[in-house]
């Protein structure tokens, strides 16, 4: 039985990922900025109200997971956010917000968990990048740049972790089928959107023994399922 941390664990994708790992027999710690979870997490741990841009709060969350679940085998960095805004309509504040939500949370949480993950056999880190970060469209500059930071962290840390038994990879989804995205794009073809449960399976694979030879990969996930 593994111990799995899922940041952004109270959101649509976070809950789907947590459920997938639970169904495989793992114990899941869901960590989120929201104060409380909308559903149960049997056998696991829920930590709400955690600001993962804060080094001390991230470290405290990691220590609580270690104490209550006995260690950390897998870290899935989902916490983040999205803003569509042209440069004419915005500016540095939006860029700083996107980097804080998407890049800083990933860096801070990974750094807090890394000492444990380095020493854990079969450990894995899976980050959430973005397909749209590969070629940013209008209004996507701040979001895409922050997700590119996640991509480069993934590649760089894979090199740093060479020689350890900890892998790190990132999934790059296209549009994820969530209620918020449907509300924002009511005329879109939802059949082409990535289902949270399907993306969770890809994340599970990257954290599984079958993927031990993969590290530093940026894996596109762009089909409905």
Give the residue numbers annotated as catalytic, written as ranges.
143
Comparing CA positions, the residue from 164, 79, 73, 160 lying closest to residue 124 is: 73
- Rounded Cα distance, 129 and 144, in Å: 9
Tokens of 191: 């059949």
CB neighbourhood size of 139 (10 A): 16
- β-strands 45-47, 27-31: how paired? parallel
Q: Using N-to-C axis directions, what is the helix angle for 55-69 and 105-118, rounded to 10°?
A: 40
**Using the 8-state DSSP alphabet, how is residue 104 labeled?**
I
């Amino acid at each position: 039985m593994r111990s799995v941390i899922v940041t952004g664990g109270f959101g649509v994708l976070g809950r789907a990922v947590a459920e997938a790992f639970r169904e495989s027999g793992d114990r899941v710690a869901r960590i989120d900025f929201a104060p409380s979870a909308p559903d149960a997490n049997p056998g696991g741990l829920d930590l709400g109200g955690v600001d993962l841009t804060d080094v001390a709060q991230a470290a405290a969350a990691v220590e609580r997971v270690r104490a209550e679940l006995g260690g950390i085998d897998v870290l899935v960095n989902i916490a983040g956010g999205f803003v569509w805004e042209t440069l004419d309509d915005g500016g540095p504040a939006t860029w700083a917000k996107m980097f804080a939500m998407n890049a800083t949370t990933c860096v801070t949480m990974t750094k807090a968990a890394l000492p444990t993950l380095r020493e854990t056999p079969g450990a894995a880190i899976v980050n959430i990048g973005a397909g749209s970060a590969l070629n940013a469209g209008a209004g996507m500059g701040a979001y895409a740049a922050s997700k590119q930071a996640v991509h480069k962290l993934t590649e760089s840390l894979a090199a740093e972790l060479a020689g350890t038994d900890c892998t790190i990879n990132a999934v790059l989804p296209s549009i994820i089928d969530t209620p918020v995205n449907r509300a924002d794009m009511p005329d879109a073809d939802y059949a082409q959107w990535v289902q949270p449960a399907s993306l969770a399976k890809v994340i599970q694979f990257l954290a599984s023994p079958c993927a031990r030879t993969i590290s530093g990969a940026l894996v596109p996930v762009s089909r409905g399922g």
